[in-house]
Amino acid sequence: MENRTTIIGMNDHRIGVQFDPQKGRGALTNASGRFEAVQREIVDDGWDLDEQPEKLRTRVQVEHPKRIITRNQSPDISFDRSINPYRGCEHGCTYCFARPSHAYMGLSPGQDFESRLFAKPDAASLLEKELADPKYVPKVIAIGTNTDPYQPVEKTWRITRSILEVLERTNHPVGIVTKSTMVTRDIDILARMAEKGLVKVALSVTTMDKKLSRAMEPRAASPAKRLEALQALHDAGIPTTMMVAPIIPGLNDSEIERILEAGKAVGIDQAGYVMLRLPLEVRDIFREWLLAHYPDRYRHVMSLVKSMRDGKDYDATWGRRMRGSGPYAWMIGRRFEKACQRLKIGTKRVELRTDLFTPPAKLDDQMSLFDIAC
C-alpha cells in the first residue's frame, strides 16, 4: 500500500491523510461515496516502500438520461431550470460543491469526480423534445450550474455547442457559467443570441495568483486566460459577468478588489461572489488539500470558515449558504459592494428576453410534411 502520514486536525479530529498531490489533479484521495456499503481507506501496512500511485487517466462514460432539463425550487438562486451536459468535472477544483453528486453514481467525490466523467450526447435532441412540449413555458436555462460545460472533454464531445444550436434556433434565453476559455469557441452563436437579448456569460475568477490557481484548480484556465476570454466576449457584444467565487477566507479574500479591478479593465458588465461552501464530502477533500499545500494557514482558514457558518464547516440554510453569516461574512460583503461601486460595476443580474421563443416543430409535425409533399 501507499506510504502515508496521518494528519490530526483541530480538536484532535482526524480529518484525512496527506499524500503527494498528483500533477493535474485536485483531490488527494479517493474515499468511498457516502452511499457505499463498504468504505475503502488507504492505510499504512508497515512496509517502508516507495510506492507511487498509478497516474489517473480521464475516462468518459456515455449516459442516456430521459430528460435533460433539471428543475429546482431553491429560493436563493435566480433560475428554476438548468442543463448539465456532463457529470463530474476534469478541472479538478478542490472546493467544488458539486463533488458530492458523484456519490449518487456509486463513485468517489474525490479523484473519481475529476477522472471518471459522464457525457450526455443525446442532450440536444432531448432538449428539442422538451421545448416542443405545448405546456412548456420559456424561462432562462442555466448551463454550468453543477459542472463546467466547457471542461476539456467538451473539445471532443461538443455537447454544449449542440445545446446552444438548439437554443439559438428556438430563440430561448440561456445563462452560462464557466471558468474555461473554450467558451470563446462559440462566440459566433453567442454573439447572434446577444443581439436578441438571449444570452449572458459568467466566468469565475478565483485568484490572480497563478501558483494558487494551479494548485486549487489544476486543469482550469489560468487567471490571465480567463480575463482574455472575458475581454473577447465583451468585445463581441455579449453581456459578461465576473464571479469572484469562491471567496476563501485567509486564502484569496485579500484579492477581492484586485480581481474586480482586473475585470473592470476588460469590460465586464456585472460581478458577483460566493463564499466557500463545504457540503458533505467536500469538507474533507478541501481540508486534505489545504493541509498538503498550505499547512501553515490551515487552522486560520478553517477558523474563519467556522466563524461564518455558526461554528460549523458548512451551513446549508437557504439565503445563507452562498454568503455565510456573522461579522467576517458581513465585512466581505461590504468590501465587495464598495469595490463594485467605486469601479462602477453592476451587481444586479441582466434580464434576458423570453418573448422571442419559438417552439421547435414536433416530430409528428415534421413527418406530416412528407404527406403534403406526396
Q: Check if the beta carbon of residue 345 is closer than 8 Å to that of residue 267.
A: no
Surface-to-core class of residue 280, CB atoms within 10 Å of its CB (0-12 exposed, 13-18 middle, 19+ buried):
middle
Nearest partner of 247 among 333, 325, 307, 313, judged by Cα: 333
Torsion on CA atoms 235, 77, 274, 212, rounded to nearest 10: -60
CATH 3.80.30.30 fits 5-364, yes or no: yes
- Per DSSP bridges, beta strands 86-87 and 174-178 are unpaired
- Per DSSP bridges, beta strands 81-83 and 141-143 are parallel
Cα–Cα distance measured from residue 38 to residue 283, given in angstroms and rounded to the nearest whole number: 20
- State the pLDDT at residue 292: 94
Exposure pattern of 204-231 as b/e (b: 16+ CB <10 Å)?
A: bbbbbeeebbbbbbbbbbebeebbebbb
Nearest partner of 276 among 322, 319, 236, judged by Cα: 322
- State the pLDDT at residue 150: 98
- State the pLDDT at residue 33: 82
The domain locations on the chain are 5-364
Distances (CA, A) of 114 to 29, 73, 213, 250: 11, 28, 16, 26
DSSP code of residue 311: T
For the chain, residues with pLDDT lower than 70 are: 1-21, 41-46, 48-53, 363-374
Cα–Cα distance measured from residue 193 to residue 31, given in angstroms and rounded to the nearest whole number: 43
Q: What count of other Cβ atoms lies within 10 Å of the Cβ of residue 331? A: 12
- State the pLDDT at residue 39: 73
What's this model's pTM, rounded to 2 decimal places? 0.88
- State the pLDDT at residue 43: 65
Residue pLDDT, tens place only, 167-183: 999 999 999 999 999 99
Q: Check if the beta carbon of residue 9 is closer than 8 Å to that of residue 298.
A: yes
Q: Check if the beta carbon of residue 307 is closer than 8 Å to that of residue 34.
A: no
